[in-house]
Amino acid sequence: MTSSIPAKRKVGAVPSQAFLAKTFHWINIISLILMITSGLQIYNANPVFGGRQGWHFPDFLLLGGWLAGGRHWHFAAMWLFSLNLLWYGIYIMLTRRWQRRFASTSDLKALQVSENLKRKNYAWHRLVYTAIIPLLLLAILSGLTMYKPAQLHWLFGLFGNWQTLRIVHFITVPIVILFTIAHSLLALKVGSFRLIKSIFF
């Protein structure tokens, strides 16, 4: 005799994330918001494009109140962000999480030949996750070079001149924002909203 009661659908288990991984993401988000808003305050003092009469960002996007205040917030958040990346790098090396988080040759191959959509989504997710590392390092190094151009003259020389250095540092911001959007959308495809929720809560 068959039951007339429909079987309950299985609900996927909520992904489990380590406490340190959650802490890293929270610190990352907070420090990035502080750096971007204080960086825009610094930008408004002397816009990268158009000189002092160039386009300015509205006040509600700014942090610091004035140039010196923006610089204080910016560098404080930069050290928080940099140290957070450093300890997370040590953490993923010690726990070998990098083997599951960063792209490999098998991911590149999957993007070329695999017909499994889920496998391709995983590959794209790891590829984007890996590609952001050199970008974040570029943002930090270019910012430090602007802060201490005399002490880091060997780095300054790689950028050619001051304006190029400012442009490089500035364009890392929209790229990081685009990465965050792409990272979130791919996480939704790979593990739905449960995965994103598990990262923070």
Q: What are 55-88's pLDDT values in tens digits?
A: 888 999 999 888 899 999 999 999 999 999 888 8
Amino acid at 17: Q
Q: What band does 36 get if pLDDT is binned at 50, 70 and 90?
A: very high
pLDDT at 13 over 80: no
Residue with tokens 């996480």: 187
Compare 191 and 114 and report the one with higher pLDDT: 114
Asked whether residue 131 is domain-assigned, the answer is yes
Q: How many domains in the chain?
A: 2
Q: What is the mean pLDDT of residues 21-49?
A: 88
* Domain final position from 57, 77, 95: 95
Counting beta carbons within 10 angstroms of the beta carbon of residue 23, is it exposed (0 to 12), middle (13 to 18) or buried (19 or more)?
Answer: middle
Asked whether residue 10 is domain-assigned, the answer is no
Q: Which domain holds residue 188?
A: 102-201
- pTM for the model stands at 0.77
- The reply to whether 195 and 146 lie within a common domain is yes
Q: What are 100-137's pLDDT values in tens digits?
A: 677 777 778 887 777 777 778 778 878 887 888 888 88
Amino acid at 64: G
Q: What is the mean pLDDT of residues 181-189?
A: 77
* Domain final position from 95, 124, 143: 95
Average pLDDT, the chain: 81
* Domain final position from 40, 68, 95: 95
What are the C-alpha distances in Å from 159 to residues 65, 82, 135, 140, 183? 30, 21, 15, 14, 29
- The reply to whether 110 and 163 lie within a common domain is yes
